[in-house]
Structure 1
Amino acid sequence: MHDALQNIDLIIYDLDGTLVDSAPDLALAVDEMLTAMNLSPVGLDRVRDWVGNGSRRLVERALQHVGAFGPQGPDSMQLDDALALFMQFYEQHMALHTRCYPGVIECLKAQRERGIYQALVTNKPSRFIDALLKAMGLEGFFSHTLGADALAQKKPDPAPLLHVAGLLDIAPERVLMIGDSRSDIEAARAAGCRCLAVTYGYNHGTPIAALGPDHLLDSLEELV
């Protein structure tokens, strides 16, 4: 068994960039939103660097990039309208190009066989989680799933991690957070959990190793 799993009773996974490569469908929805607003599309490469802080922040970054906001900064009403468009388009094709990363299903099966609890904490809106998990063949592995709007706080705040650990009556030091971004590592550290980062995924163009996670893997298959 990998050292990262020693004395661990619960693994909390991030979703986008950790279990699934969802950037292609997120980028498609962003570009459809911009086109509907008579703005220029931005493409997949840029969206990959913007994913990870929730849908509202993704939409805000896209609008800022194309110069949709005036000198006074973001207009909340414009941002709300754009977010509604994005959510509508994303819901229509959230699993069109999204795929599980190699080794993900094998990892989830292995931890289930070991009797380790598994949960999902993501900054994706809750309304998308069940449908996406089902489309990816990931349903049934997690005792709890928490979306960005489940609590008042989201990652990098530690509250979602502590909430899930509390539901299972598991001490934070026996929890492993697995993610791909600064938000995941900061949430784990603030919660008193251990953290494992994957080298792929979305971390806004910064190598995840620079953040010094407890463990670093190129594939979750290494946990099988």
Structure 2
Amino acid sequence: MALLLFDIDGTLLRPLGIGRRAFERALRRLHGAVPSERFPYDGLLDPEIARQTLVQLGVPAERAAVDSLLEAYVEELAREPAPPRRDALCPGIPLVLEEARRRGHHLGLLTGNVRAGAAIKIGLLGLLGFFRTAPELPLLGAFGEDALERASLVPVALARCGAAFGFDFEPAHVWIVGDSRRDVAAAKAAGIRCAAVATGFTSLGELSALGPDLALPDLSDPVPLLDRVEGRAAA
């Protein structure tokens, strides 16, 4: 029995720019402008995105300004129309989630999205039920507001998932499933496993070169991931 901690953007959901559009609308609302130069969001925590964006605009990235921007961002994200499910879900989603649960594994999130933003994004596409133990309970995992950098999200996710499932997960049985360099780096720093999938902005070759435990083009076939998690496939 393993714990699989999924990233959202580029892993569960195709990178369609939903978050960037919401951030830019929030910036225009609060500050009347957006930065002239864009930087990649993949793998960053939402508070990091907010701070970097404010600095680009010449706005002091103080806690109150960051919090205000994130609050406005979540409000704008909630206004996004739901994209067609077939266009927005990454290959193999939700099949791999269904198969993982069928095999007795536990699911959680490890994402740079703030919790409210994460709930909106996966709620748009009907995935909420995979990442909470009851409809009235919050999403399981660790989120952008829980730490200053991605690797520090891991102990938060382990504590929350352990409490929810009543199980202390050994590092060898915990996997991050993500699409960015930062996902691989976070897993290595935390001493857990990583499956890197090339459904975001980083190629399979680039991900493989980082030395994850498993690198896949996508999750359209759940067997390679889940067999590797269960120790039934070669590294």
User: What is the TM-score of this pair, normalised by structure 1?
Assistant: 0.76
> Which secondary structure state, in structure 1, belongs to the residue aligned with residue 9 of structure 2?
coil
**Cα drift, residue 152 of structure 1:** 4.9
Q: Could you say which residue in structure 1 is the equivalent of 2:150? A: 155
Residues 161 and 191 in structure 1, CA contact (< 8 A), matched pair in contact too: no
Residues 14 and 180 in structure 1, CA contact (< 8 A), matched pair in contact too: yes
Taking the TM superposition and a 5 Å limit, the aligned residue runs for 1:80-91 are 80-91=67-78
CA 1:161 to 1:81, structure 2 compared with 1: closer, same or farther past 3 Å?
A: closer
Matched, 1:146 2:105: no
1:116-135 per-position Cα deviation (integer Å, ceiling 9, x unaligned): 22222222111233343332
**Aligned partner of 2:14 among 5, 8, 21:** 21
Counterpart-to-counterpart distance in 2, 1:140 and 1:83: 25
Q: Could you say which residue in structure 2 is the equivalent of 1:39? A: 33
Q: Could you say which residue in structure 2 is the equivalent of 1:4? A: none
Q: Given residue 26 of structure 2, which amino acid in structure 1 is its aligned partner?
A: M
Residues 161 and 188 in structure 1, CA contact (< 8 A), matched pair in contact too: no
**Cα drift, residue 20 of structure 1:** 0.9
Q: Given residue 77 of structure 2, which amino acid in structure 1 is its aligned partner?
A: Y
1:111-155 per-position Cα deviation (integer Å, ceiling 9, x unaligned): 122122222222211123334333212132235622426745662
Counterpart-to-counterpart distance in 2, 1:184 and 1:54: 11
* Higher mean C-alpha displacement, 155-164 vs 23-32: 155-164
CA 1:78 to 1:111, structure 2 compared with 1: closer, same or farther past 3 Å?
A: closer
Q: Could you say which residue in structure 2 is the equivalent of 1:214? A: 213
Q: Which runs of 5 or more residues in structure 2 are unaligned?
A: 134-138, 224-235
CA 1:54 to 1:172, structure 2 compared with 1: closer, same or farther past 3 Å?
A: same
Residues 108 and 161 in structure 2, CA contact (< 8 A), matched pair in contact too: no
Counterpart-to-counterpart distance in 1, 2:201 and 2:81: 17
Q: Could you say which residue in structure 2 is the equivalent of 1:61? A: 52
**Aligned partner of 2:41 among 33, 36, 50:** 50
Q: Could you say which residue in structure 1 is the equivalent of 2:93? A: 104
* Higher mean C-alpha displacement, 112-121 vs 159-168: 159-168
> Which secondary structure state, in structure 2, belongs to the residue aligned with residue 140 of structure 1?
helix
> Which secondary structure state, in structure 2, belongs to the residue aligned with residue 220 of structure 1?
coil
**Cα drift, residue 216 of structure 1:** 0.5
Residues 12 and 90 in structure 2, CA contact (< 8 A), matched pair in contact too: yes
CA 1:149 to 1:26, structure 2 compared with 1: closer, same or farther past 3 Å?
A: closer
Count of residues in Structure 1 that have an aligned counterpart in Structure 2: 208
User: What is the TM-score of this pair, normalised by structure 2?
Assistant: 0.73
| CA-based RMSD | 3.0
Residues 77 and 120 in structure 2, CA contact (< 8 A), matched pair in contact too: no
1:171-195 per-position Cα deviation (integer Å, ceiling 9, x unaligned): 1111222111233223322332211
Counterpart-to-counterpart distance in 1, 2:65 and 2:161: 38
